[in-house]
């Protein structure tokens, strides 16, 4: 009778320092920009500053997603629909996924968040709410129908969508921790992840 295969643990370097730094800086900048936009002073200078910071961080992350280390590159975690469906079939299993880097579902969620953040920054740059103080620096270069109506409306809508996506992201992290016994936060702090492999 064959002996059952035993799991062996390996500690792998998953996230490089730049990915980790960008991630946590983006968390702070996004929530600061959002909070100041919702409850900040009428003159939203700091909202703009944090918005510029979000734009810079997203730009660096996109570049790093093209030229950075393997796990940081988009090509390593943007999977075909069939691969995402196959991953979803095993998602309810009460065991760690042992995925190195972003899993197929997480990879597309990263792309969704980056895409929404790009739209959010772009619409903020060209928005003119006609209050004479909170005008985006590029509002004068687009038609007034875009700067005074379309861009502010999209900016507000995407703000809500981002909160929903972030909420799903946090819920997924809690699900992986409590249901699958997999801590996804620690690797984003230390860069290391424990992977169980069968010998």
Domain that holds residue 84: 7-198
Tell me, yes or no, whether 2 lies in a domain: no
Helix (H, G, I), strand (E, B) or coil at 192: strand
The total of structural domains in the chain comes to 1
Tell me, yes or no, whether 173 lies in a domain: yes
* Cα–Cα nearest to 79, from 57, 99, 93: 99
Higher pLDDT, 57 or 8: 57
Tell me, yes or no, whether 1 lies in a domain: no
Helix (H, G, I), strand (E, B) or coil at 67: helix
Whole-model pTM: value is 0.89
* Cα–Cα nearest to 144, from 164, 130, 163, 162: 130
In tens, the pLDDT along 150-171 reads 999 999 999 999 999 999 999 9
In tens, the pLDDT along 31-50 reads 999 999 989 888 889 999 99
Tell me, yes or no, whether 125 lies in a domain: yes
Tell me, yes or no, whether 28 lies in a domain: yes
Q: Which CATH number characterizes residue 107's domain? A: 1.20.950.20
In tens, the pLDDT along 76-117 reads 988 999 999 999 998 999 988 888 889 999 999 999 999 999
Reply yes or no on whether the pLDDT at 15 is more than 70. Answer: yes
Tell me, yes or no, whether 109 lies in a domain: yes
Contact 4, 56 (CB under 8 A): no
Tell me, yes or no, whether 158 lies in a domain: yes
Tell me, yes or no, whether 101 lies in a domain: yes
């Amino acid at each position: 009778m064959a002996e059952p295969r035993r799991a062996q643990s390996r500690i792998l370097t998953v996230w490089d320092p730049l990915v980790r730094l960008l991630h946590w800086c983006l968390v702070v900048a996004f929530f600061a920009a959002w909070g100041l936009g919702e409850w900040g002073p009428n003159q939203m200078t700091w909202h703009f500053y944090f918005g510029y910071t979000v734009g810079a961080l997203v730009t660096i992350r996109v570049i790093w997603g093209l030229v950075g280390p393997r796990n940081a590159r988009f090509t390593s975690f943007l999977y075909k629909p069939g691969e995402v469906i196959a991953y979803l079939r095993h998602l309810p299993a009460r065991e760690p996924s042992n995925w190195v880097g972003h899993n197929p579902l997480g990879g597309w969620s990263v792309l969704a968040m980056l895409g929404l953040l790009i739209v959010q920054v772009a619409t903020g740059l060209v928005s003119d709410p006609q209050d004479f103080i909170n005008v985006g620096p590029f509002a004068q270069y687009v038609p007034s129908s875009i700067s005074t109506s379309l861009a502010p409306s999209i900016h507000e809508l995407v703000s809500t969508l981002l909160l929903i996506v972030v909420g799903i992201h946090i819920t997924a992290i809690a699900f992986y921790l409590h249901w699958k016994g997999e801590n996804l936060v620690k690797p984003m702090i230390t860069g290391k992840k424990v992977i169980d492999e069968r010998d």
